[in-house]
């Protein structure tokens, strides 16, 4: 097939941009047609691909004009929430009078037959992006060289034009997000006014726990919250309690579970909501009153927007793509990851250095929080240093397992600390049985302190801790 340059860029212009002393006319313009075909095939075969691809590529990123047209048509279908397949794509191209220009329906069939694209489309997307930037750099260099040969007398104008030409290329990698102070002041005043007028004084997603919400006033968009604990203490249970409470309050929640299956999580949610024993449910020993409580719980939860994904070895790229797809029409919500250390690092970071890999994952979760403008609650393991601390097993920031960057990336770091048996609870330094300390060890925008919660091992549920001295405050 013939080679085509990007729109507005001629092959001779690329050839004229070679390095001094090289036979630039004999060098191939950067391109990878097979990678382009693979990316387009993935968008037709994998519904999750288009969000990730669209975040990295534009139609002009493709070298072949036919591929530019096909991808532009895919974006049109996606914007209209129409599934992308060879039939819908062919119909959309035909309606625009472009089907024959891209090679006809037969070319779309050939693309869709490339099932190999499903295995490595993320890497192929990066290849297409890289080739596009290289082509634009070559074109920019040819323009700058021509400008230097035909330079006007004003040297400052030459340099400014050259900088602008190069900036147009680098802008593809680094997009500006600067906002003027005037705009930011207006936004801040509007937010403060809204907070003052609302009755609940919760500016973000509620956790459903009175003392926690009084401290944070709701979790805000862009926040990365880390919840860590020793094994078996209940970090998954607390995350499920928070997710359920947020969903019941009207916030959509996506829950990525890399350790437990969706059915196991739903059983825990039902037991916590119905206040019945998880052991009785799993053993099938339910009494008549239990069935009624279970039915009432199902009724209360049936309209909640809580989505569970139990894909094992989920990568940060997959999580971002799935969250974008599930929550793209939402202006608020909560994303939960259980748990951070089980996520797969980016392919480029699988170098055997676990601290580096975990650091990449935590940074990816922070990017996800800012990108979606939603809080991300991620569970994390603790190192074995806690177990070796004698009677006082109180967790601290240095106990976060495998990477200090988790602490750096997080806006809030919390630990759950509770006694695991009666002997442990007898120590003055340990929480009483039936209670747990939620230790807020880092709070980027506020105070840190310990919060006492109640704990029911029977139905794996945390709750507000109430004693006689503060009963009126809780209710």
Q: Which of 13, 91, 259, 424 is catalytic?
A: 259
The reported pLDDT for the residue numbered 405 is: 76
Provide the pairing of β-strand 450-456 with 461-464: antiparallel
- Cα–Cα distance measured from residue 342 to residue 365, given in angstroms and rounded to the nearest whole number: 13
3-state SS, 225-294, equals EEEEECCCCCHHHHHHHHHHHHHHCCCCEEEEECCCCHHHHHHHHHHHHHCCCHHHHHHCCCCHHHHHHH
How far, in whole angstroms, is CA 271 from its chain's centroid?
29
Beta-bridge mates of residue 205: 219
- Cα–Cα distance measured from residue 37 to residue 251, given in angstroms and rounded to the nearest whole number: 39
**Which tokens in the block code for residue 317?**
């790229």
Q: Are 92 and 84 in contact (CB under 8 A)?
A: no
- Cα–Cα distance measured from residue 447 to residue 156, given in angstroms and rounded to the nearest whole number: 52
The reported pLDDT for the residue numbered 280 is: 74
The reported pLDDT for the residue numbered 36 is: 92
Q: Are 255 and 338 in contact (CB under 8 A)?
A: yes
Beta-bridge mates of residue 219: 205
- Cα–Cα distance measured from residue 473 to residue 471, given in angstroms and rounded to the nearest whole number: 5
336: helix, strand or coil = strand
The reported pLDDT for the residue numbered 351 is: 56
Reported as half-sphere exposure (CB side, CA atoms, 13 A), residue 436 has a value of: 28
The reported pLDDT for the residue numbered 196 is: 66
- Cα–Cα distance measured from residue 127 to residue 120, given in angstroms and rounded to the nearest whole number: 11
- Cα–Cα distance measured from residue 172 to residue 161, given in angstroms and rounded to the nearest whole number: 18
The reported pLDDT for the residue numbered 6 is: 37
Of the chain, the end-to-end C-alpha distance in Å amounts to 74
- Cα–Cα distance measured from residue 228 to residue 403, given in angstroms and rounded to the nearest whole number: 13
pLDDT (tens digit, 0 to 9) for every residue of the chain, 475 residues total?
333 333 333 333 343 333 333 334 567 888 999 999 999 999 988 887 888 888 788 898 999 999 999 999 998 888 777 888 889 999 999 998 999 999 999 999 998 888 877 888 888 998 999 898 888 888 888 877 877 777 666 666 666 667 666 666 655 554 444 566 777 667 777 766 766 666 556 778 888 898 888 888 888 888 999 998 888 888 898 999 999 999 988 899 989 988 888 888 888 888 888 888 777 777 777 777 778 888 888 888 888 888 888 887 777 777 877 787 777 777 788 999 987 888 877 654 555 676 777 777 888 888 888 888 889 999 988 877 666 666 667 787 877 766 667 777 888 888 888 877 677 667 767 777 778 888 898 888 888 888 888 888 777 888 888 765 554 554 4
Is 259 in the active site?
yes
34: helix, strand or coil = helix
How far, in whole angstroms, is CA 168 from its chain's centroid?
28
The reported pLDDT for the residue numbered 261 is: 83
What are the distances in angstroms from CA 12 to CA 15, 18, 27, 163?
Answer: 5, 11, 11, 23
Beta-bridge mates of residue 414: 227, 440
């Amino acid at each position: 097939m013939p080679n085509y340059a990007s729109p507005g860029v001629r092959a001779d212009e690329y050839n004229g941009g070679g390095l001094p002393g090289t036979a630039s006319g004999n060098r191939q313009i950067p391109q990878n047609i097979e990678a382009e075909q693979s990316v387009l095939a993935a968008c037709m075969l994998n519904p999750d691909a288009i969000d990730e691809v669209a975040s990295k590529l534009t139609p002009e990123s493709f070298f072949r004009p036919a591929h530019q047209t096909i991808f532009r048509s895919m974006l049109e279908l996606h914007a209209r929430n129409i599934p992308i397949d060879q039939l819908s794509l062919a119909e959309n191209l035909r309606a625009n009078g472009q089907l024959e220009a891209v090679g006809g329906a037969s070319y779309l069939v050939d693309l869709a037959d490339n099932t190999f694209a499903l295995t490595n489309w993320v890497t192929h997307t990066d290849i297409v992006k890289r080739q596009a930037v290289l082509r634009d750099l070559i074109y920019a260099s040819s323009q700058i060289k021509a400008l230097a040969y035909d330079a006007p007398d004003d040297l400052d104008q030459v340099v400014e034009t050259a900088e602008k030409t190069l900036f147009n290329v680098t802008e593809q990698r680094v997009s500006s997000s600067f906002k003027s102070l005037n705009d930011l002041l207006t936004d801040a005043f509007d937010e403060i006014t809204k907070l003052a007028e609302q009755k609940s004084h919760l500016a973000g997603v509620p956790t459903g726990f009175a003392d926690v919400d009084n401290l944070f006033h709701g979790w805000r968009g862009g926040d990365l919250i880390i919840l860590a604990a020793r094994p078996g203490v209940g970090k998954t249970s607390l995350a499920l309690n928070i997710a359920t409470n947020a969903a019941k309050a009207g916030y959509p929640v996506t829950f990525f579970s890399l350790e437990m299956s969706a059915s196991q999580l739903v059983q825990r949610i039902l037991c916590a909501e119905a206040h019945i024993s998880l052991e009785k449910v799993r053993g099938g020993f339910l009494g008549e009153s239990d069935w009624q409580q279970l039915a009432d719980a199902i009724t209360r939860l049936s309209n909640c927007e809580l989505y569970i994904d139990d894909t094992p070895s989920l990568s940060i790229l997959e999580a971002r793509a799935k969250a974008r797809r599930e929550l793209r029409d939402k202006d608020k919500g909560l994303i939960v990851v259980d748990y951070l250390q089980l996520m797969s690092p980016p392919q480029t970071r699988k170098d055997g250095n676990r601290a580096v890999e975990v650091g990449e994952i935590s940074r990816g979760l922070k990017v996800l929080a800012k990108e979606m403008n939603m809080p991300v609650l991620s569970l994390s393991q603790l190192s074995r240093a806690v177990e070796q601390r004698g009677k006082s097993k109180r967790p601290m920031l240095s106990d976060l397992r495998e990477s200090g960057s988790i602490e750096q990336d997080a806006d809030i770091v919390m630990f759950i600390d509770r006694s695991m048996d009666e002997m442990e609870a007898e120590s003055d330094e340990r929480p009483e049985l039936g209670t747990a300390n939620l230790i807020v060890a880092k709070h980027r925008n506020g105070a840190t302190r310990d919060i006492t919660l109640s704990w029911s091992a029977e139905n794996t549920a945390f709750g507000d801790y109430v004693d006689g001295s503060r009963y009126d405050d809780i209710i």
